Amino acid sequence: MIFKYLTKLKVNQNLLLNPGMAKTCKKCVETCGVGKLEPSVLKELNEAFEKLSTSDSKSLLKKYLTADVFKSIVNKKTSFGSTLLDCIQSGVANLDSSVGLYAPDTEAYNVFAELFNPVIEEYHLNFTKDDSQPPVNFGNTNCMADLDPKGTFIVSTRVRCGRSLAKYPLNPCMTEEHYIKLEEEVKCALGNLTGELGGDYLPLKGMSKITQKKLIDDHFLFAEGDRFLQAAKASRFWPTGRGIFLNDAKTFVVWVNEEDHMRIISLQKGGDLGQVYKRFVKGVEELGSQLTFARDERLGYLTFCPTNIGTGIRASVHIKVPKLAADESVLHAVAKKYNLQVRGTGGEHTSAQDGVYDISNKRRLGLSEYDVVREMQDGIMEIIKEEKSKSD
């Protein structure tokens, strides 16, 4: 295994020094991948496929890694040295995954397209291999509404996106030095934010457990120990290179090196999506003017998980809809009708506390930034209308 790691490291170092090499490799990578697979990796892959294909997993990985697809891509490698095992290891270790697939580097989406494309098509509600992400368009930032002016239903509103820095590989290919350098580069860009966006960066390394717990409980900071990310090799060298930026008002937050290189987040109490969205766009554009994000001409912004590519945007409300929630299956059915996703109060893989649900847009790809957030806005307004129409 050491050999595999060192090979990967060597290839990565070359690519980081000569990004142009990645482009020449890309042709080769797209057609056949690069490099021969170590026998130990091939053995692990065959065992992984056997475990997955004989399991009762309901993941998109299980559904689309058919025997034919497996045979077609099992020997492929990206020019970073990533293999199919790097893509599927989390979904094999966690058979209860909903997706089970991650991109160990940005080439994986092309090299293993026979697996990624059908997963992407289903998750993002019919984005086929012949579709392309529209150009970036945040629309008129005064265009979103206050979804709950009387404060009857919505506790808080949040809009976030995932971003990867173009010159760095993704988690499984990153060295400790990558995490440290990336954190430094993002900290520098964050330090240039002024006015409403100005604030402080708090590294996770050295943060007291009390401060960390408070920030998590207040829904600002990411939780630790996500078993899906651990199995996907996204938590190595933890907490080195990880941290959180908060503006003075705690309404603009940036996560560094959690699941993605960056999560850029605008949030506040109440239902005023207009204010949240306007601040979100300002923050993304100011950071985007200083940093180069990884963007594919067909798939849009590239992230570690295929559920976050395209716009990378998840716009959510923490909302209390006790009548709809009296039967969660009804709530989920209504949400599905409006392309919404229901999570628990603590976010993904949590349950609702005190009847507070996290409801957001499901798809992030195949629509412009404006349309993704409008889909959430329109869906939440319908959810509130359905809640109001339910008799006591």
Any idea which residues carry the catalytic annotation? 160, 259, 263, 305, 307, 314, 343, 348
CA pair distance 197, 282, nearest whole angstrom = 9
Residue 305 binds which of ligand DAR, ligand ADP, none (CB < 5-8 A, kind-dependent): ligand DAR
CA pair distance 9, 176, nearest whole angstrom = 11
Q: How far is the CB of 216 from ligand ADP (least distance, A)?
A: 7
Is 343 annotated to bind a ligand? Reply is: yes
Is 314 annotated to bind a ligand? Reply is: yes
Q: How far is the CB of 305 from ligand DAR (least distance, A)?
A: 3
CA pair distance 273, 361, nearest whole angstrom = 13
Residue 318 binds which of ligand ADP, ligand DAR, none (CB < 5-8 A, kind-dependent): ligand ADP
Q: What six digits make up the tokens of 377?
A: 């806005």
Kindly list the residues in this chain that would bind ligand DAR in the complex (CB under 6 A).
97-100, 228, 259, 305, 307-308, 348
Taking the least distance from each CB to ligand DAR, the nearer of 153 and 228 is 228
The residue type found at 51 is: K
Residue 190 binds which of ligand ADP, ligand DAR, none (CB < 5-8 A, kind-dependent): none
In the block, tokens 């990336």 appear at 182
Residue 364 binds which of ligand DAR, ligand ADP, none (CB < 5-8 A, kind-dependent): none
Taking the least distance from each CB to ligand ADP, the nearer of 79 and 316 is 316
Q: How far is the CB of 226 from ligand DAR (least distance, A)?
A: 7
Pick from 55, 146, 119: nearest CA to 92: 55
R_g (Cα) of the chain, nearest Å: 21
Is 315 annotated to bind a ligand? Reply is: yes
CA pair distance 227, 229, nearest whole angstrom = 5
In the block, tokens 């590294």 appear at 203
Percent of residues in the chain assigned helix, strand, coil, to nearest 5: 45, 15, 40
What is the CB-side half-sphere exposure of residue 273 using CA atoms within 13 A?
27
CA pair distance 153, 258, nearest whole angstrom = 30
Contacts of 328 (CB under 8 A, 6+ apart): 342
Q: How far is the CB of 259 from ligand ADP (least distance, A)?
A: 8
Is 263 annotated to bind a ligand? Reply is: yes
Kindly list the residues in this chain that would bind ligand ADP in the complex (CB under 6 A).
156-158, 160, 219, 263, 267, 314, 316-318, 343, 345-348, 358
Residue 224 binds which of ligand ADP, ligand DAR, none (CB < 5-8 A, kind-dependent): none
Is 318 annotated to bind a ligand? Reply is: yes
Contacts of 202 (CB under 8 A, 6+ apart): 211, 215, 243, 244, 245, 246
Q: How far is the CB of 229 from ligand DAR (least distance, A)?
A: 8
Is 351 annotated to bind a ligand? Reply is: no
Query: Which parts are annotated binding residues?
Result: 156-160, 219, 263, 314-318, 343-348
Query: Which parts are annotated binding residues for ATP?
Result: 156-160, 219, 263, 314-318, 343-348
